[in-house]
């Protein structure tokens, strides 16, 4: 199943079942029940990159045993922790519901009563599909930022959509071309259509995910330009994560933007929010990609290192401060250089 349909089905608080449905329908899952289930009987506990992860598994395991689930979670957590410099919350609970078939998703993440995610997966899923999966990474990125009012759902969905392939590329799990493949193929869907009233008032799938992702790409470029390459969006997002503690916090977009902007000594996030929230603003996406040195020729993504923002493009998918203590400790842990702490067998 393609990414578009997947993205429609996953959300932090929302799940939509059919492309033709009204934008969002709330999931029937009760986070209180899932939280209680995880508290009372999670089968698997481990610490990773500063977070304690608890995992419960429902449904017949078939070939999808605990070890394969753990390897999948660790791979996803390594990418997200590398991007944010640590696992984004201190405690996270995951309920994996094993179903028929081989499909990954839908998934939902909540910040109340704790940071928890429910994810369905077919028990016949292949190792290759688990290795290439982005759904788990997307959900983990939702842990990193505070929850915001539902009218600004695009702010967090756009963030998870934008950051997910970048986090995986930084750790070498996917090539940089795959990151920009999505910007070339899917991001144009985020442009405003007729009748659009700005991101805070146009709750379509395309504007929520790809319109939101465009906001974060615009922010990435503006922070780089404003600071002459000294700061990146990643610095702003790490600061927001540290100050909020992640998705158990509930903040306004303005507060979130302010904390990120302070970290990179600009007003980029706040001013972009002011520009895009109440108005239909078309973005010169082709121009942005050209400046980054990204083009598509014969279905292949090509890079031009002479483009004005080529250095930014390279830095986005490169490890940030690879020798920094938090990144290094987390990578060492995942490369097996350090014994894995287990609270339970
Ligand atoms: Zn989401």
- Tell me the pLDDT tens digit for each residue of 189-218: 999 999 999 999 999 999 999 999 999 999
CA atoms within 13 A on the CB side of 201: 11
Cα(284) to ligand 1 centroid in Å equals 25
| Whole-number pLDDT of residue 320 | 77
Mean confidence (pLDDT) of the chain: 88
Instruction: Output the CA torsion sign for 193, 107, 49, 253.
Output: positive
Question: What's the domain range around 270?
Answer: 150-320
Q: Which two tokens stand for residue 189?
A: 């869907």
Q: Which residues contact 303 (CB under 8 A, 6 or more apart)?
A: 176, 177, 293, 294, 310, 313
Burial of 28 (0-12, 13-18, 19+ CB in 10 A): exposed
Pair (255, 179) in one structural domain: yes
**Would 131 be classed as within a structural domain?**
yes
Pair (299, 171) in one structural domain: yes
Pair (206, 303) in one structural domain: yes
Pair (75, 114) in one structural domain: yes
CB 63 within 8 A of CB 123: yes
Pair (303, 191) in one structural domain: yes
| Whole-number pLDDT of residue 335 | 52
Cα(154) to ligand 1 centroid in Å equals 9
pLDDT at 336 over 90: no
**Would 345 be classed as within a structural domain?**
no
| Whole-number pLDDT of residue 342 | 36
- Smallest CA-to-CA distance from 161 within 188, 148, 179, 146 is with 179
Domain count, the chain: 2
**Would 341 be classed as within a structural domain?**
no
**β-bridge mates for residue 15, sequence order:** 25
Pair (121, 238) in one structural domain: no
| Whole-number pLDDT of residue 225 | 97
Cα(141) to ligand 1 centroid in Å equals 8
Helix (H, G, I), strand (E, B) or coil at 45: strand
| Whole-number pLDDT of residue 97 | 96
**Would 343 be classed as within a structural domain?**
no
CA separation for the pair 273, 109 (Å, rounded): 24
Other CB atoms within 10 A of residue 43 CB:
14
Query: Given pLDDT bands bounded at 50, 70 and 90, which one contains residue 338?
Result: very low
Pair (139, 179) in one structural domain: no
Pair (127, 218) in one structural domain: no
- Smallest CA-to-CA distance from 247 within 130, 112, 126 is with 112
| Whole-number pLDDT of residue 323 | 60
Cα(100) to ligand 1 centroid in Å equals 23
**Would 316 be classed as within a structural domain?**
yes
Pair (128, 230) in one structural domain: no
CB 304 within 8 A of CB 310: yes
Cα(135) to ligand 1 centroid in Å equals 9
| Whole-number pLDDT of residue 328 | 64
Cα(339) to ligand 1 centroid in Å equals 32
Report CA Rg, the chain: 19
**Would 344 be classed as within a structural domain?**
no
Pair (106, 185) in one structural domain: no
Strand (E) or helix (H) holding 211: none
- Whole-Å CA distances, 290 to 175, 213, 297, 304: 19, 18, 13, 9
| Whole-number pLDDT of residue 176 | 97
**Would 80 be classed as within a structural domain?**
yes
pLDDT at 311 over 80: yes
Pair (187, 303) in one structural domain: yes
| Whole-number pLDDT of residue 10 | 36
Pairing of strands 116-122, 91-99: parallel
CA dihedral 41, 121, 152, 280 (to 10 degrees): 180
| Whole-number pLDDT of residue 322 | 62
CB 309 within 8 A of CB 291: yes
| Whole-number pLDDT of residue 327 | 63
pLDDT more than 70, % of the chain: 85
Q: Which two tokens stand for residue 254?
A: 């303005």
* Residues having C-beta closer than 5 Å to ion ligand 1: 10-11, 157, 160
CA dihedral 288, 240, 11, 191 (to 10 degrees): -20
CA separation for the pair 176, 155 (Å, rounded): 24
**Would 225 be classed as within a structural domain?**
yes
> What DSSP character marks residue 147?
B
CB 133 within 8 A of CB 104: yes
| Whole-number pLDDT of residue 29 | 80
pLDDT at 343 over 50: no
Pair (9, 70) in one structural domain: yes
């Amino acid at each position: 199943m393609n990414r578009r349909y997947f993205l429609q089905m996953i959300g932090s608080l929302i799940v939509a079942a059919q492309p033709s449905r009204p934008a969002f329908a709330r999931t029937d899952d009760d986070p209180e029940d899932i939280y209680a289930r995880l508290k009372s009987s999670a089968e698997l506990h481990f610490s990773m990159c500063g977070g304690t992860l608890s995992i419960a598994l429902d449904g017949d395991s078939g070939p999808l045993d605990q070890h394969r689930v753990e390897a999948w979670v660790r791979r996803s957590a390594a990418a997200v922790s590398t991007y944010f410099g640590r696992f984004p919350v201190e405690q996270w609970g995951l309920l994996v519901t094993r179903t028929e078939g081989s499909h990954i998703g839908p998934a939902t993440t909540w910040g109340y009563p704790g940071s928890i995610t429910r994810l369905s997966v077919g028990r016949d899923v292949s190792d290759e599909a688990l290795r290439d999966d982005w759904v788990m990474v997307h959900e983990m990125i939702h842990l990193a930022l505070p929850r915001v009012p539902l009218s600004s759902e695009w702010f967090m969905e756009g963030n998870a959509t934008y950051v997910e392939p970048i986090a995986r590329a930084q750790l070498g799990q996917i090539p940089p071309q795959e990151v920009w493949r999505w910007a070339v193929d899917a991001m144009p869907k985020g442009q405003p259509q007729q009748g659009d009233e700005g991101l805070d008032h146009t709750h379509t799938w395309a504007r929520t995910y790809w319109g939101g992702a465009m906001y974060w790409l615009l922010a990435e470029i503006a922070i780089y330009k404003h600071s002459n390459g000294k700061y990146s969006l990643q610095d702003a997002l790490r600061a927001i994560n540290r100050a909020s503690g992640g998705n158990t916090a509930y903040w306004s977009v303005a507060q979130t933007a302010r904390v990120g902007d302070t970290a990179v000594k600009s007003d980029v996030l706040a001013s972009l929010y002011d520009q895009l929230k109440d108005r239909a603003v078309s973005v010169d996406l082709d121009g942005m990609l050209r400046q980054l040195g990204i083009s598509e020729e014969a279905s292949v993504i090509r890079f031009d290192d002479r483009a004005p923002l080529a250095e930014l493009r390279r830095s986005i998918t490169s490890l940030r401060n690879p020798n920094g203590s938090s990144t290094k400790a987390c990578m060492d842990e995942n490369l097996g250089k350090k014994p894995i702490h287990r609270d339970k067998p």
